[in-house]
């Protein structure tokens, strides 16, 4: 870092910054009085709190965010998430509406709640602005929390809150409304009459969610948004502001003028933002002693989860896989411990129709890249990309025409899914019925785990009975590599005793 001498401070700034004086000056900002329950967190807190409060508040909020993230990783529906989160929020981070206290916003309890909400948000901002990944996750979790609270909010209060934001929305006049009435009805699901709503015209960029789902009428760059879709706009606004602010915070972070009281707390906080995504650590999918080579993949593929198994079957059928399929499969193979050399050999042998030259010029580099053998410094240091988790596979773009990657439970039509399952030896009517049900409810994990439990029911019973595996060893699978490892170990286990 280049430190500038005091007298070389940019003359424009010199007048306002004298940090030594500023540090002990009384804050000149307006004291926050929290008239509304919701908060866009535009103004940072300025009052003093104790170190214990600092840590405790942050930890409480972190618990909530981690739970919210976990819910989204497990693909819970909004209703399930709400049921899960509500008691936790009540316990760790209550935030009551004005109507819940006789004196309204002036009530001390409400004030304290809102202060805690406000301060804890900003503390976590400090803790999570350091890396891009943390920023992204923090913004996502905070947005979900905000959305949740916004939906729970009392409608009158919500209106007052929105009015206080001064957003740039242009109401649609009656004449124009009648002119496009039919289009408005057609583009707004569940709406019968145009007059049931007040309409606003905004730049379409403000409502990307609605545009992406095609649930808003667009004309020449303007989106015609019904009043009830305010949520979408507010959320977009919230996310945009938070992302911008986090970016600024991250730049200011190296200059955080601080003794050594806060930094350890902040570091500790950011390290404990555990999630399903980070559960997988390098090498976790390796199975010691398993003979994993290019030639053994065919045999091992019986232990693969359906997503990888279908990729393997497609590869064997077509002697080819498209890019994202290759990537998903390569990373998985890397995760089960296939070495780079063996992996290249595997793909070389699998692409029967390609010459060596074609293979080397078109495919080899990508495989090496996935292993971190080539590419930028960051890629090499990180040894390539981690194997995809279920979350990643489920959340990524849907496979397009002719593509085969993704999760069969999610991306196949139910009939094709059942066909595939039967092709892999899952015939049990009860299981298939369960899978249909799970998929209908969008519980893809559960469906996959159901199949796993069925196909290993004997082994699972055995390890449970003799107590060699505890319940945590049999927790829900959320990573394809965990699936493989567990499946492989279970089968070994039941064969091993004879050898041992």
The side-by-side arrangement of strands in the sheet containing 222-226 is 170-171, 199-203, 222-226, 217-219
CB 385, min distance to other proteins, A: 4
Whether 307 has a binding-site annotation, put simply, is yes
Binding-site size for other proteins (CB under 8 A) equals 59
Nearer to other proteins, 6 or 401 (CB): 401
Which distant-in-sequence residues (6+ apart) come within 8 Å of 290 by Cβ? 300, 336, 337, 488
CB 486, min distance to other proteins, A: 25
Query: Per CB under 8 A, does 2 bind other proteins?
Result: no
Query: Per CB under 8 A, does 244 bind other proteins?
Result: no
Nearer to other proteins, 98 or 310 (CB): 310
CB 397, min distance to other proteins, A: 7
Query: Per CB under 8 A, does 168 bind other proteins?
Result: no
Nearer to other proteins, 132 or 195 (CB): 132
CB 43, min distance to other proteins, A: 25
Whether 71 has a binding-site annotation, put simply, is no
Q: Name beta bridge partners: 199.
A: 226
Q: Considering only residues 274-333, where is the footprint of other proteins by CB under 8 A?
A: 320, 322-324, 327, 331
CB 463, min distance to other proteins, A: 34
Query: Per CB under 8 A, does 143 bind other proteins?
Result: no
Whether 390 has a binding-site annotation, put simply, is yes
Query: Per CB under 8 A, does 208 bind other proteins?
Result: yes
C-alpha distance from residue 442 to each of 66, 137, 447, 455 (Å): 22, 23, 9, 21
Stretch that binds other proteins, among 181-189, 298-306, 450-458, 482-490 (CB under 8 A): 181-189
Stretch that binds other proteins, among 164-172, 401-409, 455-463, 475-483 (CB under 8 A): 401-409
Query: Per CB under 8 A, does 102 bind other proteins?
Result: no
Tell me the per-residue interface mask from 360 to 399 with other proteins, x by CB under 8 A, - otherwise. -xx--xx--xx---xxxxxx----xx-----------xxx
Q: How far apart are CA 210 and CA 200, in angstroms?
A: 14
| Choice from 120, 232, 249, 404 touching other proteins (CB under 8 A) | 404
Q: How far apart are CA 250 and CA 129, in angstroms?
A: 5
Nearer to other proteins, 19 or 192 (CB): 192
Q: How far apart are CA 411 and CA 441, in angstroms?
A: 14
CB 118, min distance to other proteins, A: 27
Whether 343 has a binding-site annotation, put simply, is no
Query: Per CB under 8 A, does 485 bind other proteins?
Result: no
Closest by Cα among 69, 94, 230 to 151: 230
Nearer to other proteins, 213 or 461 (CB): 213
| Choice from 4, 413, 471, 472 touching other proteins (CB under 8 A) | 413
- The footprint of other proteins (CB under 8 A) covers 132, 183, 185-187, 189, 204-205, 208-209, 211-215, 217-222, 320, 322-324, 327, 331, 357-358, 361-362, 365-366, 369-370, 374-379, 384-385, 397-404, 406, 408, 411-413, 415-416, 420
Residue ranges of the binding site for [4Fe-4S] cluster: 307, 390, 407, 448
């Amino acid at each position: 870092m280049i430190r500038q001498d005091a007298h070389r401070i940019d003359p424009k700034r010199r007048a306002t910054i004298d940090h030594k004086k500023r540090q002990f000056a009384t804050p000149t900002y307006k004291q926050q009085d929290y008239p509304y329950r919701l908060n866009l967190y535009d103004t940072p807190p300025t009052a003093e709190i104790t170190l214990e409060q600092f840590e405790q508040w942050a930890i409480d909020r972190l618990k909530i965010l981690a739970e919210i993230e976990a819910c989204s990783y497990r693909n819970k529906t909004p209703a399930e998430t709400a049921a899960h989160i509500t008691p936790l929020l009540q316990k760790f981070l209550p935030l009551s509406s004005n109507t819940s206290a006789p004196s309204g916003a002036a009530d001390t309890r409400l004030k304290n709640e809102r202060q805690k909400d406000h301060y804890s948000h900003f503390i976590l901002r400090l803790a999570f602005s350091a890396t891009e990944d943390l920023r992204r996750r923090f913004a996502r979790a905070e947005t979900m929390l905000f959305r949740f609270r916004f939906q729970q909010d009392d409608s009158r209060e919500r209106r007052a809150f929105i009015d206080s934001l001064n957003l740039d929305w242009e109401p649609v006049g009656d004449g124009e409304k009648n002119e496009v009435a039919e289009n408005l009805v057609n583009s707004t699901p569940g709406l019968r009459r145009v007059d049931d709503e007040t309409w606003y015209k905004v730049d379409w960029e403000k409502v990307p969610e609605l545009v992406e789902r095609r649930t808003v009428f667009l004309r020449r760059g303007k989106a015609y948004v019904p009043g009830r879709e305010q949520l979408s706009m507010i959320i977009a606004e919230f996310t945009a502001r938070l992302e911008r602010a986090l970016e600024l915070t991250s730049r200011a972070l190296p200059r955080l003028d601080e003794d050594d009281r806060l930094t350890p707390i902040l570091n500790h906080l950011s390290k404990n933002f555990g999630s399903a995504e980070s559960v997988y650590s390098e090498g976790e999918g390796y199975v010691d002693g398993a003979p994993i080579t290019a030639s053994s993949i065919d045999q091992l593929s019986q232990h693969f989860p359906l997503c990888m198994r279908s990729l393997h079957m497609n590869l064997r059928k077509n002697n080819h896989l498209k890019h994202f399929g290759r990537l998903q499969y390569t990373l998985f193979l890397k995760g089960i411990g296939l070495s780079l050399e063996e992996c290249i050999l595997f793909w070389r042998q699998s692409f029967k129709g390609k010459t060596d030259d074609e293979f080397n010029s078109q495919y080899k580099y990508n495989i090496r890249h996935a292993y971190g053998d080539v590419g930028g410094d960051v890629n090499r240091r990180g040894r390539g990309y981690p194997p995809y988790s279920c979350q990643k596979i489920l959340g990524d773009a849907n496979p397009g025409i002719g593509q085969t990657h993704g999760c069969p439970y999610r991306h196949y039509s139910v009939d094709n899914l059942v066909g595939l399952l039967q092709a892999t030896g899952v015939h049990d009517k009860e299981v298939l019925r369960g899978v249909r049900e799970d998929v209908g409810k969008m519980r893809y994990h559960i469906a996959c785990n159901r199949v796993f439990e069925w196909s290993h029911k004997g082994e699972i019973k055995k390890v449970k009975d003799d107590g060699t595996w505890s319940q945590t060893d049999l927790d829900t699978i959320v990573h394809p590599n965990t699936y493989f490892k567990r499946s492989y170990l279970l089968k070994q286990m039941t064969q091993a005793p004879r050898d041992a």
